[in-house]
Amino acid sequence: MLGTIVNTAAILVGSTLGSVLGRGLKAKYQTVLFDTMGFASIALGLNAALSNMRQSDYPVLFILSLAIGSVLGTLWDWDGKFQRLTTRYGNSELGRGLSTAVLLFCIGTLSILGPMQSALEGNNTFLFTNATLDFVTSMVLASTYGIGIAFAAVVLFLWQGSLYLLACWVGPFMTPPLLAEVSIVGGILIMVSGFSLLHLKDCKTLNMLPSLFVSVALYYLARAFF
């Protein structure tokens, strides 16, 4: 769990620094930093998706996962419920920032594979790398949305902690082909978050989040019948 603790601490420190420095940071510099992180997110997501596509046993599985998962997320209105929750206890801008932060911090190859690698191999390399990225990202987000971004650290700790415990419990079932399918979907969600950061399109990315779980279900269905 050392890697997850370091990753959580990086977000807390980055959010604190960003909220303090952001008060004296001109809007044009905040925009530049936001654009930079948007392009970086697109690059990271694209790399994660394409690199894992070569390892996929079922090339169309990610398409079905995204389609089914997005429909379910829209039906359950995950994005709307999250926005209403943050509006009740803060403001809509914070909700947008938190939803982006949660996806950037939690839904990526490093954040998914990291805790599993830590549990199965005792290797925290992925998590330490992720902590560095999240430190910078949390500073940028907090400079615009405020200290509330630090709440994403709690979500990350619970997310990575759950994956760590899950890997300890069902390690033999977490095969590389399954992780490849999940990482493809995760990479695409990271790309979509990048588009949101660049204000190119509000894709309501939280509504697409069920796609990750759908990819696991579809993978085992495909293994059972094909």
Report d(CA 11, CA 105) in Å as an integer: 9
Give pLDDT, residue 73. 94
Best CA proximity match to 186, nearest among 212, 167, 151: 212
- Is 55 strand, coil or helix? coil
- Write phi, then psi, for 107 (nearest 5 degrees): -100, 75
Q: Could you tell me which residue, 220 or 110, shows the higher pLDDT?
A: 220
Domain boundaries, the chain: 2-225
- Write phi, then psi, for 90 (nearest 5 degrees): -165, -110
Give pLDDT, residue 91. 56
Instruction: Give the tens place of pLDDT for each residue, 167-188.
Output: 888 777 778 898 889 889 988 9
Q: Could you tell me which residue, 78 or 76, shows the higher pLDDT?
A: 76
Q: How far apart are the first and last CA of the chain?
A: 37
Give pLDDT, residue 63. 96
Report d(CA 61, CA 181) in Å as an integer: 8
Average pLDDT over residues 195-210: 84
Amino acid at 56: S
Residue 93 banded pLDDT, cuts 50, 70, 90: low
Report d(CA 100, CA 94) in Å as an integer: 10
Distance of CA 214 to CAs 59, 70, 95, 192, Å?
A: 15, 10, 25, 18
What mean pLDDT is reported for the chain? 85
- The pTM of this model reads 0.79
Report d(CA 37, CA 33) in Å as an integer: 6
Give pLDDT, residue 12. 96
Instruction: Give the tens place of pLDDT for each residue, 39-49.
Output: 888 888 898 89
Span of 9-13, 26-30, 61-65 with lowest mean pLDDT: 26-30
Give pLDDT, residue 187. 86
Contacts 24+ apart (CB under 8 A), 67-71: 68/210, 68/211, 68/214, 68/218, 69/185, 69/208, 69/209, 69/210, 69/211, 69/212, 69/213, 69/214, 69/215, 70/207, 70/208, 70/210, 70/211
Most confident of 43-47, 106-110, 120-124, 218-222: 218-222
Give pLDDT, residue 139. 87
Report d(CA 26, CA 77) in Å as an integer: 35
Give pLDDT, residue 14. 93
Residue 145 banded pLDDT, cuts 50, 70, 90: confident
